[in-house]
Structure formats: structure tokens, C-alpha cells
Amino acid sequence: MNSSPRPSCKASCRHILETEVPILSAVLTPHQFHDHADHHEFFRSHMVTKGKELAGACLSIIREPRGRRLGRADD
């Protein structure tokens, strides 16, 4: 298994460094998904949880002064 970042991850990191604008994303890759009610409910609930976590991360970024977000103490 190759542990180097995928091109889309490299592009996202480059964009963040060049523009100082964060990118947040959430991905759910279900393993052994079976099309029945139990799995539908499990993954629906899981995505609700991940959505809340991502929203919390967004709020944390918005509330933090820009310079501090970027690791600079002078802003």
C-alpha cells in the first residue's frame, strides 16, 4: 500500500497553503454495506454525527482570529 497523499489531497493542501483558506470535507466509505434498514439507519446516524463534527470545526475556524488560525501570533 502506498502511503503518499493522493493528488486531490495534495491539491487541497497546496490550495490551503497558497490561499490561507481552509478546506473541510467529510467522506463516508462504508465497508461491507448491505442494502437493508439496519445499515441505512447506521450510516444515516453516522453521517449526522460527522456533519455535526464538521459544523463544529467550521465554527471553530470562523471564531478564531485569522492570524492565530495560521499559526501567527502577530494578528
Per-residue pLDDT, 65:
72
Q: What is the pLDDT of residues 23-56, one digit of tens each?
A: 887 777 777 888 899 989 988 998 899 899 999 9
**pLDDT of 3 over the 80 cut:** no
pTM flag (> 0.75): no
* pLDDT score, position 45: 92
- Give the pLDDT confidence of 60-75 residue by residue, as tens digits: 888 887 656 556 655 4
CA dihedral (25, 31, 34, 40) positive or negative:
negative
Residue ranges of domains in the chain: 7-69
Distances (CA, A) of 65 to 22, 52, 59, 60: 13, 22, 12, 10
Residue 1 has pLDDT above 60, yes or no: no
Distances (CA, A) of 62 to 25, 58, 66: 16, 6, 8
